[in-house]
């Protein structure tokens, strides 16, 4: 029977082709439904694309609804290259103001006495002072330095005496190096009275810089400053301070106060770095620092103005050892002195002059120089224009998209439609937006009531554009409040109405996509049912033709058997004719 499935094997009829043709005719309704689905998919895609553009339009509308847009301000100085910092808040009164600063505010400071620590050695001998442990402002690096063209190589484990001997040897016993504990300086001297030349471009050690040795064009070079500095990372007991700290208990703990704030310390466990950090983190309102070059501690107020710094401790305390309570230099803080628009001199402890200082609400000027500058506060027309232009672009993009997707063209009598040509709802969306765009906003003044009042207009294609740029600029600069009312009046303003409309259109578009999706889902069910019936029908036809082929084959076999039994055939016919 399997062989009988070959089309026409017994009957000579190509019944498989006939079945295919019959089923193709039967499949026509399915094809029609699938074309309907394709059309629905195209419409859904087009509406989705429109939804994207409507969302962009809604964003542009939201940006125009920003409460600070039309009250935004720009603040500029008339002085080219001004370093003053300018700021103005939303709604600051526009206008120009001449600010004349005769004195900027500074911070009060207390500079401790210099050289609070001992020298790098207690005696003139430096045989026990290694480069790694010397109490100098910098740390000597290993490498070489040059004296009179002769390289001297040093290691951080060398003593200062080792280096002195190396200099003497390298210079042919000409240059002698010595240390004076009284001066805390090193001196290089030439026995031949020749000029001493220090350093070379290819030196790799910073020995000369750390020991403050520099060329002076003579035969004797001494350190240009004292060398000893405090060990800021080790406890005070071993930091090298000249003055002993005695106002502590048996464990080494003591206390001092700055501006009434107590600061605790322990000479056995706390270092200068630790205590300075403790001061800076406290509520004393000062910043402490160690000046390694001058070997002194400096305290400075955190804020500017004519404000003092008050210190208190028992005799023999840490502040005394740091030379901050006697012999120090007090630098008074200064208040800023200025005038506004030629008025009387005003005073401010801060260099930031805000509304409380000059009386112009919302304007803040931070000055850093004693000059006169004209500060102009104006409406931020550039930002307003940019947001309006963004709205125009988004609005026109929606209109162009709807026009493109719903247009109908005729060429030589042939009419061509677009994907949304039959969608009257979407086409009505464009009309609604055009109508709303050109409406007059009720309840406003005579200055700005519709878009044409500030230079905008609609053309015949529904596109919105700036028709009169001068008129728009004038409205932005001179009537920003009227523009704000036009756009942002609650519920009745241009932006509020557009926001409501666009929100509805986005929702409608989403509903349309859902309906199309549901329609196609229902059509999928229909197609599945029809395909199932067509499959059954094909199977029925195929089985019928196979049965026909089988019957035909049996008949042919029986006929052949009868013919063979009675000798009927081509061969027997030939024998009869011979008789």
The model's pLDDT over 333-348, given as tens digits with 9 standing for 90+, comes to: 999 999 999 999 999 9
- Phi, psi torsion values for 283, nearest 5 degrees: -90, 15
Q: Is residue 32 domain-shared with residue 84, that is, in the same domain?
A: no
Give the end of a domain, one of 206, 222, 238.
222
Give the end of a domain, one of 188, 222, 256.
222
Q: Is residue 514 domain-shared with residue 540, that is, in the same domain?
A: yes
Q: Is residue 431 domain-shared with residue 499, that is, in the same domain?
A: yes
What is the spatial distance between Cα 107 and Cα 49, in angstroms, rounded to a whole number?
62
Q: Is residue 148 domain-shared with residue 77, that is, in the same domain?
A: no
**pLDDT bucket at 534, cuts 50 / 70 / 90:** confident
- Checking if the pLDDT of 9 tops 60, the result is no
**pLDDT bucket at 201, cuts 50 / 70 / 90:** very high
Residue 529 lies in a domain: yes
Give the end of a domain, one of 191, 222, 253.
222
Residue 242 lies in a domain: no
Query: Which residues constitute the domain of residue 455?
Result: 1-72+380-552
Please choose, from the candidates 440, 485, 441, 437, the residue with its C-alpha nearest in 3D space to the C-alpha of residue 464: 437
What is the spatial distance between Cα 504 and Cα 350, in angstroms, rounded to a whole number?
53
- Checking if the pLDDT of 306 tops 60, the result is yes
Bridge partners (DSSP) of residue 313 are none
Q: Is residue 398 domain-shared with residue 367, that is, in the same domain?
A: no
What is the spatial distance between Cα 560 and Cα 556, in angstroms, rounded to a whole number?
6
The per-residue pLDDT of the chain, averaged, comes to: 91
Q: 379-404 pLDDT, tens per residue?
A: 999 999 999 999 999 999 999 999 99
Q: Tell which wins on pLDDT, 552 or 397.
A: 397
Residues 6+ positions from 415 with CB-CB distance below 8 Å: 408, 409
What is the C-alpha radius of gyration for the chain, rounded to an integer number of angstroms?
50
Please give the pLDDT value at position 538.
83
Burial class, 293, CB count within 10 angstroms (exposed 0-12 / middle 13-18 / buried 19+): exposed
Residue 38 lies in a domain: yes
Q: Is residue 67 domain-shared with residue 85, that is, in the same domain?
A: no
Q: Lowest-pLDDT range, 225-234, 284-293, 316-325, 368-377?
A: 225-234
Q: Is residue 358 domain-shared with residue 505, that is, in the same domain?
A: no
Stated as kind and residue range, the H or E segment containing 406 is: helix 381-406
> Cβ(175)–Cβ(188) under 8 Å?
yes
- Checking if the pLDDT of 368 tops 90, the result is yes
Q: Is residue 392 domain-shared with residue 506, that is, in the same domain?
A: yes
């Amino acid at each position: 029977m399997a062989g009988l499935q070959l089309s026409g094997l017994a009957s000579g009829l190509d019944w498989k082709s006939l079945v295919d043709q019959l089923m193709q005719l039967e499949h026509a309704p399915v094809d029609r439904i699938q074309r309907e689905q394709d059309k629905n998919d195209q419409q859904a895609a087009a509406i989705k694309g429109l939804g994207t553009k409507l969302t962009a339009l809604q964003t542009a509308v939201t940006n125009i609804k920003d409460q600070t847009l039309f009250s935004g301000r720009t603040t500029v100085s008339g002085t080219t290259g001004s370093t003053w910092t300018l700021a103005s808040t939303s709604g600051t009164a526009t206008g120009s103001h001449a600010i004349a600063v005769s004195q900027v505010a500074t911070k009060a400071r207390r500079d401790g006495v210099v050289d609070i620590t001992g020298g790098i050695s207690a005696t003139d001998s430096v045989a026990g002072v290694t480069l790694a442990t010397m109490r100098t402002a910098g740390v000597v690096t290993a490498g070489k330095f040059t004296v009179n063209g002769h390289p001297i190589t040093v290691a951080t484990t060398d003593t200062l005496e080792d280096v002195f001997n190396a200099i003497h040897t390298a210079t042919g016993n000409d240059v002698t190096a010595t240390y004076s504990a009284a001066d805390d300086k090193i001196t290089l001297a030439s026995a031949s009275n020749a000029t001493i030349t220090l350093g070379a471009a290819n030196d790799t050690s910073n020995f000369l810089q750390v020991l403050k040795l520099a060329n002076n064009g003579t035969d004797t070079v001494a350190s240009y400053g004292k060398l000893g500095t405090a060990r800021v990372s080790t406890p005070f007991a071993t930091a090298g301070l000249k003055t002993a700290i005695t106002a502590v208990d048996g464990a080494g703990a003591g206390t001092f106060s700055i501006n009434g704030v107590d600061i605790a310390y322990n000479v056995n466990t706390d270092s200068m770095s630790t205590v300075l950090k403790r001061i800076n983190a406290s509520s004393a309102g000062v910043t402490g620092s160690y000046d390694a070059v001058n070997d002194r501690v400096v305290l400075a107020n955190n804020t500017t103005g004519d404000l003092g710094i008050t210190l208190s401790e028992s005799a023999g305390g840490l502040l005394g050892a740091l030379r901050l309570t006697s012999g120090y230099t007090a630098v008074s803080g200064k208040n800023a002195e200025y005038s506004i628009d030629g008025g009387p001199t005003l005073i401010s402890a801060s260099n930031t002059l805000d509304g409380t200082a000059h009386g112009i609400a919302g304007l803040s000027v931070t000055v850093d120089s004693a000059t006169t500058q004209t500060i102009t506060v104006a409406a931020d027309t550039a930002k307003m224009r940019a947001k309006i232009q963004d709205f125009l672009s988004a609005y026109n993009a929606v209109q162009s998209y709807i026009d493109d997707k719903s247009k109908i063209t005729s060429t030589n009598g042939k009419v061509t439609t677009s994907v949304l040509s039959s969608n009257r709802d979407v086409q009505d969306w464009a009309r609604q937006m055009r109508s709303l765009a050109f409406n007059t906003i009720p309840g406003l003044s005579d200055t700005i009531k519709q878009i044409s009042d500030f230079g905008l207009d609609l053309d015949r294609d529904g596109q919105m554009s700036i028709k009169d740029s001068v008129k728009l600029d004038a409205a932005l600069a001179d009537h920003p409040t009227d523009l704000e009312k036009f756009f942002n009046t609650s519920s009745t303003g241009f932006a509020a109405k557009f926001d409501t409309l666009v929100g509805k259109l986005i929702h409608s578009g989403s509903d349309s996509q859902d309906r199309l999706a549901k329609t196609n889902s229902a059509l999928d069910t229909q197609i599945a049912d029809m395909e199932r019936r067509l499959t059954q029908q094909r199977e029925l036809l195929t089985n019928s033709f196979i049965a026909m082929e089988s019957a035909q084959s049996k008949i042919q076999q029986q006929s052949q058997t009868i013919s063979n039994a009675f000798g009927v055939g081509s061969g027997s016919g030939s024998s009869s004719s011979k008789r």
